[in-house]
Amino acid sequence: MAGPNKSQNKKTKGIDSISNKIQNDEDVVEKYLISQQKPFSINDMVLNLNNKFKKTPLLKILEDLHKKEKIIIVTFGKTSIFASKDIVKEISIKQRDEEIAGNQPSSNPLLLLEQILQLKEEQTEMNRDLKQLNDCINNEKKNPSNKELPTLIKTLEGKLVQVCEAIEELKNQEDNIYRDSKNISSEYNSGNSSNVPQTNKDLLAYIEKSEKILTKEMKTRKQIIKNILNLLLQNKKPQELKNILDDIGFEEIH
């Protein structure tokens, strides 16, 4: 009967070697936590163990120890804290003895750590709120001050007058063009286009094109007026705004 071949022996030895290394690493980490008798974060453990383990492998070792119920893991938000199970037993015994003796029980390091982490989270939230408040203050600073408002309003009133005058001029031009256009169209549509001079035909085409442009420009200027009125309404009472519009001869155009 043939015995196990050399390949199988090497494979078995390799597996045993890996298992021994894992066990040794777990022993090192567990003994360290027991000896220190206080909780640590993963980053603290990497430093305190003199970088013997990198962060990811060390985290795997700690998780395996926790599965074997050899250590405890306490999670606060996104932070995990690792400690020996003995620390919980010692704290419980110490607190019980102090309570029996009538003394004020000493603080639980884990609870103190939890309070610190909670305070850090509150600090982060307060910093976020502070940033939002600073953003609001900076935005307010960009707005004109009460001293600047009269000058700004006067400037806008001047622009409003200019826009109203431009609209009135455009309206007059539109009325004149429309009247001429109607006369030429009537002549052109009489059925005898041969009597309409070519210059009038060209003029009619020009007028139709101009009317489209003017209509578009009127819409643009109406929107400008609307924006200026909205801005004035933010800084003037309705009656004050009405008086301003009356003074400059503004008429609402529908």
Q: What is the pLDDT of residues 142-196, one digit of tens each?
A: 766 677 777 777 787 777 777 777 777 777 776 666 666 566 556 555 555 555 4
Range 133-155 burial, b when 16+ CB lie within 10 A, else e:
eeeeeeeeeeeeeeeeeeeebee
Partners of residue 73 on adjacent β-strands = 82
Model pTM? 0.35
Instruction: Look at strands 71-76 and 40-41 and give their pairing.
Output: unpaired
Structure tokens at 146: 């009460």
d(CA 217, CA 234): 26
Is residue 200's pLDDT more than 60?
Answer: no
Structure tokens at 131: 């940033």
* C-alpha distances out from residue 36 to 4, 23, 32, 49, Å: 46, 20, 6, 12
How many residues in total does the chain contain?
254
